[in-house]
Amino acid sequence: MTWQAVLVLVCGFVAAGLLSYRQHLGYQRAVNELATDENRSGMLLVSGRAKGRLRGAIVLLVIDRRRGEVTRAQVMEGVSVFATFTERPDLAGPVEGAEERAGSKALAKAVAEALKMAARLNAGTLRSQAV
């Protein structure tokens, strides 16, 4: 292998690492903004992720513990490090139907993981009042 080929490989790894770090900073920024915006009594911020062969998804859910409702959701879906968080108002509503409202398989898995985390944090008492 020539030194040019080695240089191309090293540059590729460095670029991938920098872009992944940039995406991590975007996740951190989204979490901090949601935590600041929704810092009220009774609100819970949870996240979930799903990794697929080609596509993945990360979801941030703000849940009102008292009403058992998702009040706000942000989603990062995609196949590249250029994916960003977008607001998803269609996920807002009762906790019970959140997975069905997800739309894609990867997003449904991420929502299920986030709801599992919420149930653990609430010691299993999270449920919708609408039932």
CATH number at residue 48: 3.90.1010
CA dist list (Å): 88 to 59, 76, 107, 130: 10, 10, 11, 22
pLDDT in tens, 90-114: 988 888 888 888 888 888 999 999 9
Please compute the mean of the pLDDT values over residues 39-68 and round it to a whole number: 87
> Span 48-72, mean pLDDT?
88
pLDDT level of residue 128 (50, 70, 90 thresholds): very low
Q: How far apart are CA 16 and CA 43, in angstroms?
A: 36
Separation of alpha carbons 126 and 61, rounded Å: 14
If one counts the domains in the chain, the total is 1
Rg (CA), the chain: 18
Residue at 127 is within a domain = no
* Predicted confidence (pLDDT) per residue in 16-35, tens digit: 999 989 988 989 999 999 99
User: Would you say residue 131 lies in a domain?
Assistant: no
Compare 89 and 82 and report the one with higher pLDDT. 89
In a domain, 114, yes or no: yes
pTM: 0.81
Nearest CA among 131, 94, 129, 130 for reference residue 115: 94
Residue 95 lies in a domain: yes
Residue 126 lies in a domain: no
Question: Is residue 46 a part of any domain in this protein?
Answer: yes
Task: For residue 128, tell me if it sits in a domain.
Answer: no
Q: How many CB atoms lie within 10 A of CB 37?
A: 12
Each residue's pLDDT tens digit, 8-18: 999 999 999 99
Residue 129 belongs to some domain of the structure: no
Q: What domain range includes position 86?
A: 3-121
